[in-house]
Amino acid sequence: MAETGASPLPPTPSARSPLSRAEHFVWLTARVLEQRRFAYHFLGGTADAVETALAAYRNEDDGYGHALEPDLRGPVSQPLHAGHALRVLDSIGRCGGQRVERVCRYLTSVSTLDGALPAIRPSQRGYPTAPFVPVVDDPPSDLLATGPVVGLLHRNEVWHAWLFRATDFCWQAVESLRKSHPYEVEAAVAFLDSAPDRPRAEAAADRLGRMVREQRLAVLDPERLDASPVSPGYGPGEHHFPYDFARTPGSLARAWFTDEEMARSLDFLAAEQRKDGGWPIRWRQWAPGTALECRPMVTIEALRTLKAYGRAIA
């Protein structure tokens, strides 16, 4: 007999549901961290288990390495790894306290002169790295690395000295964008969705949305992929869709797209699940191991996006 007050078990997905097929794929291919994350988001797993798995990637300098971000191999800490770790902590409601204070100390130690983050520091040199992530001696400040980190720290009401100049950098970078590409716009949205100055964020997002449509950065009709341009430097077929910009209905980017455009993109996302249960990666694949590690991450995010928009996954 069940104990009074015991937590209910999560619903059992049907044998052929998107969730059950994805579960099989995750157990078959994923790293321990993604297995724990999948269990947390969809199977009633615990946040403690996710944190324990994430801790294996932490270094003595309070940064993260060891290919946490699969396209950067090797043990050394990098800002992109730290951003990945913070996204994991944010997703399980653990983005706060001493754990984040330590990460902010690391971010302070690796910031550029204007207080922002570079994408890759020179310490990555000598370790296998994706060819589309260049390693240079004096890396500049990078919105792709800084925007998502600043945004999620604000969303979790983290206050640290590092945030002040980094926030100023993000405002300057976002408001000066005139021609961009999807990943940069997505980083801008990650910042704007949680920036404290809401009227300023809404105005900036409105301008970015017009730019996305004018420069055709989002595929509005998935049935006409061939008619949609791919941004310079991207891999063949590396398209981006409305759900890439607006991961949840509450995102400022949701207003950029009509209900019909968003519905079409979500239909496309749901149909992208492969026979093995996982979703594909759309960026350039440069090593078999990294592609294998990335697909469970993409699969988890696809399911979370579909669930956020009320699509049936179980």
Encode the chain in three state secondary structure: CCCCCCCCCCCCCCCCCHHHHHHHHHHHHCCHHHHHHHHHHHCCCCHHHHHHHHHCCECCCCCECCCCCCCECCCCCCHHHHHHHHHHHHHCCCCCHHHHHHHHHHHHHHCCCCCCCCCCCHHHCCCCECCCCCCCCCCCCCHHHHHHHHHHHHHCCCCCHHHHHHHHHHHHHHHCCCCCCHHHHHHHHHHHCCCCCHHHHHHHHHHHHHHHHHCCCCCCCHHHHHHCCCCCCCCCCCCCCHHHHCCCCCCHHHHHCCHHHHHHHHHHHHHCCCCCCCCCCCCCCCCHHHHHHHHHHHHHHHHHHHHHCCCCCC
Instruction: Write out the two tokens for 116.
Output: 């922002």
The residue-averaged pLDDT of 118-129 equals 97
Token pair recorded at residue 86: 């913070």
Q: What is the pLDDT of residues 26-84, one digit of tens each?
A: 999 999 999 999 999 999 999 999 999 999 999 999 999 999 999 999 999 999 999 99
Q: Please write the tens of the pLDDT for every residue from 189-198.
A: 999 999 999 9
pLDDT score of 166 = 98
Report the C-alpha gap between 14 and 248 in whole angstroms: 25
Q: Kindly tell me if the per-residue pLDDT of 12 is higher than 80.
A: no
Between CA 217 and CA 204 the distance in angstroms is 17
Q: What is the pLDDT of residue 151?
A: 98
Q: pLDDT digits over 150-167, tens only?
A: 999 999 999 999 999 999
Q: Is the pLDDT of residue 3 over 50?
A: no
pTM: 0.93
Residue 196: which residues within 8 A CB-CB, separation 6 or more?
154
User: What are the angstrom distances between the C-alpha of 220 and each of 36, 121, 172?
Assistant: 34, 36, 29
CA 62/CA 79 separation, integer angstroms:
11
| Per-residue model confidence (pLDDT) at position 228 | 84
Euclidean distance between CA atoms 197 and 252, whole angstroms: 13
- Whether the per-residue pLDDT at 6 is higher than 50: the answer is no
User: Which residue ranges make up each domain of the chain?
Assistant: 30-175, 217-313
* Per-residue pLDDT reduced to its tens digit, 200-225: 999 999 999 999 999 999 999 999 99
According to the model, what pLDDT value does residue 87 have?
98
Residues paired with 64 in a beta bridge: 58
What pLDDT does 226 receive?
A: 83
Predicted pLDDT of residue 13: 64
Structure confidence by residue, pLDDT tens digits, 85-116: 999 999 999 999 999 999 999 999 999 999 99
Q: What confidence score (pLDDT) does residue 4 get?
A: 44
Give the pLDDT confidence of 225-276 residue by residue, as tens digits. 987 899 999 999 999 999 999 999 999 999 999 999 999 999 999 999 999 9
pLDDT at 2: 41
* CA–CA gap between residue 123 and residue 278 (Å, rounded): 33
Question: What is the pLDDT at residue 93?
Answer: 97
Percent of the chain topping pLDDT 70: 95
Cβ pair 221, 215 in contact under 8 A: no
